[in-house]
Amino acid sequence: MNSMTILLLIFSIFTLPSFLTSKEAEYLYHVCSNTTTFTPNSIFQSNVNHLLSTLSSNANSSTGFYNDTVQTTNNAVYGLFLCRGDVAGTDACETCVANATAEAPQRCPIEKEAVIWYDDCMLRYSYESFFSTSAENPGVFLTNTQNVTEQTRFNQVLAASMNEVATEAANDAYKFAAKQTKFSDQITLYSLGQCTQDLSAAVCDRCFGVAIAQLPSCCSGKQGGRVLFPSCNVRYEIYPFYAENPIAPEPTPTEAVRLAEDCTGTATFTQNSAFQSNLHSLLFTLSSKTTRDTSFYNATASSSQNPDDTVYGLFLCGVDVVSTGDCKTCVATATLEAPQRCPNRKNVIIWYNNCMLRYSDVSFFSRADDEPFAPRENTGKVTVNQSRFYEVLAASVTELAAQASNESSKFAIKTEDVSGSISLQVLGQCTQDLSSRDCNWCLRRIIEKVPRIQEGGRFLCPSCRLTIEVSQYNVHTPSSPPPLPPPPASIGARPKGRSRLSPYIIIVGSILAFIAVTVVLGYCLARRRAVRNNAPSQENGRDDTKTLESLQFDLGTIETATNKFSDNNKLGEGGFGVVFKV
């Protein structure tokens, strides 16, 4: 595709836009390069089929963009798809990519390069890597046959609108933007621009510049038109041809914080070499594979000239940050910073708070490496019995390693109480290419390297990582019960100097008073019963009892009767004293 191919297609458009009337992918055009071909049933054709299958299976990507490479020696195939921004992550995108992967090999049966456009998507593949580079060849122009009124003013409004769309899209994470501009009371101008998401803002902006520059020659004075390039496209109409709610912006991601890097290997490469070209291709591939459900990805980039220029690489994100978008931000940062911090180095590892990136000229896939080791301990010291702390830590890591090694994500987290106020949380993760045995070994190896962890931290290896956090919290003892409420205040003011009686005294006094009253009443009842039992019986209804007062005599009477107590009148003595006769 070295020569410029410009195709002018005239489309009469009298129907509603396709996204409103049909769910089927609307084919627009395709271009096959006739300069390079492959033999049917060859390894290259097998790789093409594998690539197309991979692209189709990833058409549900929420970004609407995916690229991949399938390669064997001298038979590498590079490919991607791009869905229109407003249909990304929808059934329309999946349907379009499925149609494209099925039709492209039929329309270009033996060509090594092909690009096919639909209303909702574009598919491209080639035997040469084209990632992160802008391609404006071939170019396809589509135009609406209906003319506009006030052509000069319409072109001015169109130019301003398209320039705004280009600027916004070039700086958008999805390289997509759409805009509505009021041309008159009856006419609204709808504009759209999009680049493949592997392009930088500057490269995308340059592609837009070339595309917009073609509009006056192909579509001046027309009610609609579009320019389709392999790397970008622009379109305008006076009717809505896109959904008005394109991809919602992601939440603001957390900034990637670099923890450590290692580029101490002796192997180096020269600038502008095949190895450097493969490295750039690899880093782009890794960066483009970060989705909201992918925490690990490994890939290989090689050239057909020399297998020694092959580069192997992977990234690993924390499972706990994948869904937030922090993984994408971290890996994007790592792929930019790693070559800068380790220039010309073939073996590099760089760790961040949310991810790890590694690449090398030697394959390390499915191999457990515990070196180089990068411990990042927290400051401070555990304020608890050290023997107890290390006992709990060792047991937790052993259980965690067993759990993580048997998970498909190779990730696990565990929390234990060390004492009444100390909590221990351990997080472990391995690269997902490791076997269960190797993952278990790698995590336990870390704790062997750091036998005296004081306050936790992050402990980083190429194949696994361990995060240990110690939390101290306050232990709340049960408080004493609240005092009984005071007695109701008297209506009048309380006299000065008199203290308020304690509720307890009142209660005790009441109980004692009750007991005293009960005793007195019991005594009185018992005495009354005794008196009744000892009283003389009543005969014939007559009462013979006398009162004490009726039996009393004065002293003179007694002396006269007893002759002044004479012995002659003495009868004897009894229990109450001497007895006289009267």
pLDDT, tens only, 47-75: 999 999 889 888 888 889 999 999 877 78
Name which CATH class applies to 1-246.
alpha beta
* Stated length of the chain: 582
Q: Which residue(s) pair with 222 in the sheet?
A: 147
The answer to whether residues 65 and 80 touch, using CB atoms and an 8 Å cutoff, is yes
Please tell me the predicted confidence (pLDDT) of residue 326. 84
Among 185, 188, 186, 178, CA closest to 157: 188
What pLDDT does residue 528 have? 61
3-state helix, strand, coil in the chain (%, to 5): 35, 25, 40
Interval 289-316 mean pLDDT: 85
What does the domain layout of the chain look like in residue ranges? 1-246, 258-360, 374-472, 555-580
What's the pLDDT tens digit per position in 326-373?
Answer: 888 888 889 889 999 999 999 999 999 999 999 999 999 999 999 999
β-bridge partners, 376 = 458
Integer CA distances (angstroms), 143 to 40, 86, 154, 218, in order: 37, 21, 15, 7
Query: What is residue 332's predicted lDDT score, i.e. its pLDDT?
Result: 83
CA–CA distance, 351 with 349 (Å, rounded to integer): 7
Q: Does domain 374-472 have CATH number 3.30.430.20?
A: yes
Of all residues in the chain, what percent carry a pLDDT higher than 90?
47
Q: Using one digit for the tens of pLDDT, what is the confidence trace for 525-546?
A: 666 665 455 544 444 443 443 3
* 498: confidence class by pLDDT, cuts 50, 70, 90: very low
d(CA 289, CA 37): 29
Ranges assigned E (strand) in 263-310? 296-301
Determine contact, residues 43/72, Cβ cutoff 8 Å.
yes
pLDDT at 30: 95
Residue 234 phi, psi (nearest 5): -135, 150
Query: To which H or E segment does residue 528 belong?
Result: helix 503-534
> CATH fold of 258-360, please?
Killer Toxin P4; Chain A (3.30.430)
Is the pLDDT at 3 greater than 50, yes or no? Answer: no
Answer yes or no: is pLDDT of 160 > 80.
Answer: yes
State the pLDDT at residue 547.
39
Fold equal for 1-246 and 258-360: yes
